[in-house]
Amino acid sequence: MTQSETAKPGTAKPGTAKPSETQAKPAEIIHAPPFSQALMQELLSAYGSPLYVYQGDRLCQTLDHITRSVDYPHTQFHFASVTNGNVALLQIIRQKGWGLHANTPGDVFLGLQAGFLPTQIVYSGSNLSREDLEQLIRWDIHRFNLDSLSQLRLFGDCSVARSPTPALGLRLNAPELTGESRIGIRPAEFEEACAIAQQYGLTLTGLHFYRGTGTNATAAFTQVIDQVIAIAQRLPHWQMLDFGGGFGYPYRSGAAFDWPEFGAAMRQKLAALSRPIELVIEPGRAVIAGCGVLLAQVVAVKWQGDRQIVGVDTTVANLSVPAVHGGYRAITTWVSGSSRHPTDICGNTTYSRDYLGRGCELPMLKVGDVVAILDSGAYGYAMSSHFLHRPRPAEVLVAANDHRLIREREDYSILLNGQKF
């Protein structure tokens, strides 16, 4: 890397355009760093870069806010661990009185390691093999929400003579409410589902409503409560409503889900029923996204016209693709400067789509500076992989002015795990 590649555009080679200091740039909120520069430097000195950092205090504040907002007296909160399965974080969530919502047997395994009791776990999966289902039953999972009539029959086959029988519900597929989806059972199939359950000595007591992933519009939930309740009442033994799943998070300061408004609407509708109904709420990214940060160090800088191209020491393999969370996450830095430039943050591979952010408004950066990719607590490490053949970063928990390692950094030996040669 030559000096001309990292210098301000005005000192670059002839023919390189100089960015105008007065040129209008797209309006973008300037995000403050998530914690002090001193703490950032201490963390990187102790654990290296790149690094996932979770703020325990913020996680607890979010859990408390959601719990207070939904004050219907028969409510259970279950964290959707598909978004983050770090056991240390799951332990914090358990200590706050929440249960676990699992989508795979792996979710359950991690939850049990974190100290959740089987009675604190709700399982809502799809397309389980017999081996998967038998394992879940051996773990004594408290409640299942099943995805199809064939899965209901398989459950009946696997749970014969099992005592006590787990609580059982159906995942709802109603296009007018859930949109077109592969998940769930249509209301027209409820009668057949009840007959299958009766054949196996089972009782269907629950309905699971999944609005769809990452929905920030509060009205998308509140406006359908009456319709979902009406469908649930078609189950003769209905006792439980599992109302999502799918709660969004305001990445890059987008629209935020209004938990108090949602909680008030749920309370009003359920309190009006003739008997108490158990309510299960299962947020995932809404709980965990905001407490996580991915720190990365600048390893290269160049300019393409007035655009700053910044290479960092991590890659898209350590952060979920935009399709999962709705767009690039906000990126900030501890570098000061009144002049900001359109900046692309690029990973340390030649993969053409290795962008961690595009069009960020950031000050001029240099090799050795640090950027913070915000809101990385959900679908960050949980969706990281060995794509591009780089070991995964460490994870660190910061709480009460202290920090500790909660997952070790991988080295290249991890790439040989299981290989035979």
Distance CA 373, CA 353 (A): 17
Highest mean pLDDT among 109-123, 320-334, 336-350: 109-123
pLDDT of residue 107: 98
pLDDT of residue 324: 62
38 shares a domain with 70: no
- Is the distance from CB of 284 to CB of 80 less than 8 angstroms? yes
Q: Containing domain of residue 383, as a range?
A: 3-49+290-410
Q: Buried b / exposed e across 124-137, counting CB within 10 Å, b at 16+?
A: bbeebeeebbebbb
Write the secondary structure of the chain as one string of H (helix), E (strand) and C (coil): CCHHHHCCHHHCCCCCCCCCCCCCCCCCCCCCCCCCHHHHHHHHHHHCCCEEEEEHHHHHHHHHHHHHHCCCCCEEEEEEHHHCCCHHHHHHHHHCCCEEEECCHHHHHHHHHCCCCHHHEEEECCCCCHHHHHHHHHCCCCEEEECCHHHHHHHHHHCCCCCCCCEEEEEECCHHHHCCCCCCECHHHHHHHHHHHHHCCCCEEEEEECCCCCECCCHHHHCCHHHHHHHHCCCCCCCEEEECCCECCCHHHCCCCCHHHHHHHHHHHHHCCCCCCEEEECCCHHHHHHHEEEEEEEEEEEEECCEEEEEECCCHHHCCCHHHHCCCCCEEECCCCCCCEEEEEECCCCCCCCEEEEEEEECCCCCCCEEEECCCCCCCHHHCCCCCCCCCCEEEEEECCEEEEEECCCCHHHHHCCCCC
> How many CB atoms are located within 10 Å of the residue 198 CB?
13
Confidence of residue 394 (pLDDT cuts 50, 70, 90): very high
327 shares a domain with 183: no
Q: What is the pLDDT of residues 211-259, one digit of tens each?
A: 877 788 999 999 999 999 999 999 999 999 999 888 989 887 777 899 9
Q: What is the pLDDT of residues 331-364, one digit of tens each?
A: 999 999 889 999 999 999 999 999 999 999 999 9
* pLDDT for 5 beyond 70: no
Residue 267 zone, left/alpha/beta (φ > 0; ψ -120 to 50; rest)? alpha
* pLDDT for 127 beyond 70: yes
> How many CB atoms are located within 10 Å of the residue 141 CB?
24
Distance CA 137, CA 131 (A): 10
45 shares a domain with 75: no
306 shares a domain with 248: no
- Which of 258, 283, 308 is the C-terminal boundary of a domain? 283
Higher pLDDT, 149 or 248: 149
* pLDDT for 25 beyond 70: no
Q: Does the residue 415 lie in any domain?
A: no
Distance CA 136, CA 102 (A): 11
311 shares a domain with 269: no
- Which of 283, 301, 330 is the C-terminal boundary of a domain? 283
Confidence of residue 323 (pLDDT cuts 50, 70, 90): low
CATH code for the domain of 12: 2.40.37.10
Higher pLDDT, 166 or 191: 191
Whole-angstrom CA distances from 27 to 3, 200, 322, 371 are 31, 61, 21, 20
Q: What own/partner pairs with CB < 8 Å and gap ≥ 24 does 29-34 have?
A: 29/252, 29/253, 29/330, 30/332, 30/340, 30/361, 31/253, 31/330, 31/331, 31/332, 31/374, 32/332, 33/332, 33/333, 33/334, 33/372, 34/293, 34/332, 34/372, 34/374
pLDDT of residue 311: 98
Confidence of residue 72 (pLDDT cuts 50, 70, 90): very high
42 shares a domain with 74: no
340 shares a domain with 234: no
Q: Does the residue 421 lie in any domain?
A: no
167 shares a domain with 193: yes
Q: Does the residue 106 lie in any domain?
A: yes
Higher pLDDT, 416 or 182: 416
pLDDT of residue 19: 42
232 shares a domain with 141: yes
% the chain with pLDDT above 70: 91
pLDDT of residue 209: 94
Q: Does the residue 34 lie in any domain?
A: yes
Q: Does the residue 40 lie in any domain?
A: yes
The answer to whether the peptide bond before residue 164 is cis (omega within 30 degrees of 0) is yes
Q: Which residues pair with 101 in a beta bridge?
A: 80, 122
Q: Does the residue 124 lie in any domain?
A: yes
Round the average pLDDT of the chain to a whole number and report it: 90
Q: Does the residue 419 lie in any domain?
A: no
323 shares a domain with 259: no
Q: Does the residue 417 lie in any domain?
A: no
> How many CB atoms are located within 10 Å of the residue 405 CB?
14
Distance CA 269, CA 226 (A): 7
pLDDT of residue 89: 98
Confidence of residue 326 (pLDDT cuts 50, 70, 90): low
212 shares a domain with 325: no
How many CA atoms within 13 Å lie on the side-chain side of 302?
Answer: 9
- Which of 230, 256, 283 is the C-terminal boundary of a domain? 283
Distance CA 279, CA 77 (A): 9
103 shares a domain with 17: no
Which phi and psi angles does 266 have, rounded to 5°? -65, -45
Number of domain units in the chain: 2
CATH code for the domain of 141: 3.20.20.10
